[in-house]
């Protein structure tokens, strides 16, 4: 399958996807704590502890690691990395003791005294993250998951800032004793204790949404509880801090995935309160928070999914990229008409022209945004963004055609099949919850077809044209099985699926089992046959059908963007 390649990316490391190791790019830098820690002179007591001949006994280093010495903490001196550094998720570094006297040269030559690094060090070229099987993320791996899979084109913090917090500040919160004061060293990222506290709340919120991506719902629950407590404690004194609002935003996102509408709306109200009262905020990520919050709230405000829901989301994205209201771009009253009128055979061309223009503008700006977000750049980032763009575009087309089924059933059939085949993509399990509604709509469409087949009202095999002279024949029930698999993948990550669509999943399961009892044929693709070039799918209204096909031919300038985002032609989707 084709992939976007951009040469100036950082070197690659490995992410483990369900046992499969694939390449991703991460910046190979040492932790910030190392760059700030200068080796201090040994005290007389420390020098007395050094024993050149016996330092390796019991797997212990002769002196404490650089971080524990700097923080005046008791270090267990494990050669593979001390426990305190491991718990904090930072690189454990042992400095070579500067022994004075005649033994200094011999000490430096002793190979057993060389600096040891923890196997958890982020400066290692390979960091494995279990993304398919259940596994707990660390602070560093969470950062990678967030910037690769979660944030999309809406990161709300610099990657180095988040890494600095994880490496240099997180341990204070996780090992803090009652009444112990927080310490903030001079740095270029965090300006105050208050900001550091808000970053801890944000860290917990990001750990929640990132753990949803890797299907670790136990960690989701634990971190959400902690994040809520931190946000509540900070609400009195630090609700004016930007990262307090970002923490509330991601708690909102996590509860949307969890299917808790009450808590989701509660934290959305906190975000809205902040945005309304800090419109002059100088933080460069303020507009990102404003836009993403609007997109999320419009898409998930109601449990029902509709074309108007998608139009609201695209409206927010359009205004974010162009800094212009969509109502001001078109003739007065056009947008209000679209939001309050059902698509019909008489007005669908208007809807199509307006939506094409909006998608064209969003597509061009989104492509540029992806190129500029160097914190996110990795092979997996571009793969996931391409898949998400394709699913969202096809999902919009499907919802559009759903409004006029009397003339568009065959087109809907093609689009639904494409969406189902996209769920077979290796990156699908790591798509954000924005694709849930699209998968549900596609599944319900295929379920309706299979119910007709079960009643003997429709043939079991379907045909799709892949080119003017070729067609693909497939089994509808095998396609429905793929839809069920996709729903189960999403349900393992987002409880929202089981809370809102339990009947859908049970109906599919029962129908598939009943079909297997009737017929054990399970092959999806049965044949590729040559067909006459004049073949055309039957439609109730041939004139409207031709108009529809003409309307859905994208202009060349639009194709230039979508060609970049395409997952391939039909033959490639079917793995021919």
For 217-250, letters b (16+ CB in 10 Å) and e give bebbebbbebbbebbeebeeebbebbbbbbbbbb
Strands 12-17 vs 20-25: parallel, antiparallel or unpaired: antiparallel
Please indicate whether residue 463 or residue 149 has the higher confidence score (pLDDT): 149
Residues 92 and 134 placed together within one structural domain of the fold: no
User: Do 280 and 415 lie in a common domain?
Assistant: no
Helix (H, G, I), strand (E, B) or coil at 57: helix
Cα distances (Å, whole numbers) of residue 13 to 47, 110, 129, 235, 322: 39, 32, 11, 39, 36
Check residue 157 and give its pLDDT.
Answer: 96
53 lies in some domain: yes
3-state secondary structure string across 217-231: HHHHHHHHHHHHHHH
Would you state the structure tokens that stand for residue 143, as one six-digit string? 């950062």
CB 256 within 8 A of CB 433: yes
Shared domain check, 270 and 400: no
Domain co-membership, 82 together with 148: no
> How far from chain centre, in Å, is Cα 275?
24
Are residues 398 and 537 part of one domain?
Answer: yes
Model confidence at 2: pLDDT above 80 = no
The residues that bridge with 529 in the sheet, in sequence order, are: 471
Check whether 43 has a pLDDT greater than 60. no
pLDDT band at 289; cut points 50, 70, 90: very high
Do the beta carbons of residue 211 and residue 223 sit within 8 Å? yes
pLDDT value at residue 306: 67
Asked whether 460 and 467 are in contact (CB, 8 A), the reply is: no
- In terms of domains, do 66 and 211 share one? no
The answer to whether residues 100 and 133 belong to one domain is no
**What does the pLDDT look like over 233-280, one tens digit per residue?**
999 999 999 999 999 999 999 999 999 999 999 999 999 999 999 877
Cβ neighbours of residue 417 under 8 Å, at least 6 residues apart?
A: 462, 464, 474, 479
Is pLDDT above 60 for 132? no
Q: Are residues 99 and 217 in the same domain?
A: no
Q: What value does the mean pLDDT take over residues 506-521?
A: 84
Judge whether 221 lies within some domain.
yes
320 lies in some domain: no
Choose one of 278, 295, 312: the last residue of a domain: 295
Query: Quick one: average pLDDT of 58-84?
Result: 81
- 9: in domain: no
To the nearest 10°, report the CA torsion of 340, 343, 348, 350: 0
Q: Which domain CATH number covers 85?
A: 4.10.240.10
Is 483 found in the same domain as 546?
Answer: yes
* 190 and 74 co-located in one domain: no
* Residue 243 shares a structural domain with residue 286: yes
Identify which of 129-138, 393-402, 494-503 has the greatest average pLDDT.
494-503
Q: Higher pLDDT residue, 339 or 553?
A: 339
Please indicate, yes or no, if residue 345 is contained in any of the structural domains: no
Q: How many domains does the chain divide into?
A: 3
Of 246, 262, 295, the domain-final residue: 295
- Which tens digits make up the pLDDT trace of 548-573? 455 444 444 444 444 444 555 444 45
User: Who has greater pLDDT, 493 or 21?
Assistant: 493
* Strand runs labelled E in 393-469: 461-467
Residue range 137-168, pLDDT digits in tens: 999 999 999 999 999 888 999 999 999 999 99
Angle at 288 between CA 286 and CA 293, to 5 degrees: 100
Residue 208 has pLDDT above 50, yes or no: yes
Arithmetic mean of pLDDT, 290-307: 75
Model confidence at 529, pLDDT cuts 50, 70, 90, reads very low
Q: Taking 90 as the threshold, does the pLDDT of residue 332 lie above it?
A: no
Q: Retrieve residue 278's tokens.
A: 């800090």
Tracing tokens 């042992």 back to the chain, one arrives at 94
Q: Does residue 335 lie within any of the structural domains?
A: no
> Is residue 347 included in any domain, yes or no?
no
Domain boundary among 69, 89, 113: 113
Tell me which residue range forms the domain holding 485: 375-573
**What's residue 98's pLDDT?**
54
10 pLDDT more than 80:
no
Do 223 and 102 reside in the same domain of the chain? no
Most confident of 67-76, 386-395, 438-447: 438-447
CA distances from residue 297 to 256, 292, 306, 338, 434 in whole angstroms, order as listed: 10, 8, 14, 20, 11
Q: Using CA atoms, how far apart are residues 65 and 348, in angstroms rounded to an integer?
A: 69
CB 508 within 8 A of CB 480: yes
Q: Is residue 319 part of a domain?
A: no
């Amino acid at each position: 399958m084709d992939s976007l390649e951009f040469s100036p990316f950082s070197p690659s490391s490995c992410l483990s996807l369900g046992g499969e190791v694939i390449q991703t790019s991460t910046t190979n830098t040492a932790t910030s704590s190392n760059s700030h820690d200068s080796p201090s002179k040994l005290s007389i007591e420390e020098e007395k502890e050094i024993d050149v001949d016996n330092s390796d006994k019991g797997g212990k280093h002769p002196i404490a690691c650089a971080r524990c010495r700097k923080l005046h903490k008791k270090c267990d001196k494990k050669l593979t990395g001390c426990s305190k550094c491991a718990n904090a998720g930072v690189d454990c570094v042992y400095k070579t003791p500067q022994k004075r006297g005649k033994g200094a040269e011999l000490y430096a030559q002793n190979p057993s005294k060389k600096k040891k690094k923890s196997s958890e060090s982020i400066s290692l070229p390979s960091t494995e993250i279990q993304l398919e099987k259940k596994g707990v993320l660390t602070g560093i791996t969470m950062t990678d998951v967030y910037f690769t899979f979660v944030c999309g084109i809406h990161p709300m913090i610099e990657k180095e800032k988040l890494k600095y917090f994880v490496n240099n500040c997180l341990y204070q919160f996780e090992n803090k004793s009652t009444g112990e004061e927080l310490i903030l060293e001079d740095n270029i990222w965090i300006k105050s204790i208050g900001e550091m506290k808000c970053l801890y709340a944000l860290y917990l919120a990001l750990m929640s949404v990132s753990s949803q991506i890797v299907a670790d719902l136990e960690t989701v629950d634990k971190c959400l509880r902690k994040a809520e407590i931190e946000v509540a404690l900070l609400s009195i004194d630090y609700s004016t801090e930007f990262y307090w609002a970002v923490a509330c935003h991601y708690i909102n996102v996590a509860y949307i995935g969890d299917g808790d509408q009450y808590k989701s709306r509660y934290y959305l109200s906190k975000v809205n309160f902040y945005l309304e009262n800090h419109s002059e905020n100088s933080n460069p990520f303020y507009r990102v928070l404003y836009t993403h919050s609007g997109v999320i709230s419009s898409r998930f405000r109601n449990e029902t999914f509709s074309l108007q829901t998608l139009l609201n989301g695209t409206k927010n994205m359009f205004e974010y990229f162009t800094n212009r209201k969509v109502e001001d771009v078109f003739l007065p009253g056009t947008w209000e008409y679209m939001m309050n009128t059902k698509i019909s055979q008489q007005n669908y061309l208007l809807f199509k022209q307006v939506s094409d223009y909006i998608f064209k503008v969003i597509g061009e700006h989104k492509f540029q945004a992806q190129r500029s977000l160097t914190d996110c750049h990795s092979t997996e980032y571009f793969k996931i963004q391409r898949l998400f763009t394709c699913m969202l575009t096809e999902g919009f087309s499907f919802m559009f055609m759903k409004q006029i089924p009397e003339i568009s059933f065959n087109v809907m059939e093609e689009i639904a099949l494409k969406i189902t085949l996209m769920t077979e993509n290796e990156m699908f399990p790591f798509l954000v919850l924005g694709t849930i509604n699209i998968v549900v709509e596609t599944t319900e469409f295929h379920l309706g077809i299979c119910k007709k087949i079960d009643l003997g009202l429709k043939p079991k095999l379907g045909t799709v044209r892949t080119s003017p002279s070729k067609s693909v024949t497939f089994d509808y029930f095998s396609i429905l099985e793929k839809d069920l698999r996709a729903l189960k993948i999403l349900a393992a990550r987002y409880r929202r699926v089981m809370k809102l669509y339990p009947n859908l999943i049970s109906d599919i399961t029962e129908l598939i089992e009943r079909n297997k009892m009737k017929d054990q044929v399970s092959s999806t693709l049965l044949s590729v046959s040559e067909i006459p070039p004049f073949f055309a799918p039957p439609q109730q209204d041939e004139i409207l059908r031709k108009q529809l096909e003409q309307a859905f031919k994208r202009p060349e300038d639009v194709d230039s963007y979508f060609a970049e985002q395409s997952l391939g032609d039909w033959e490639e989707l079917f793995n021919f």
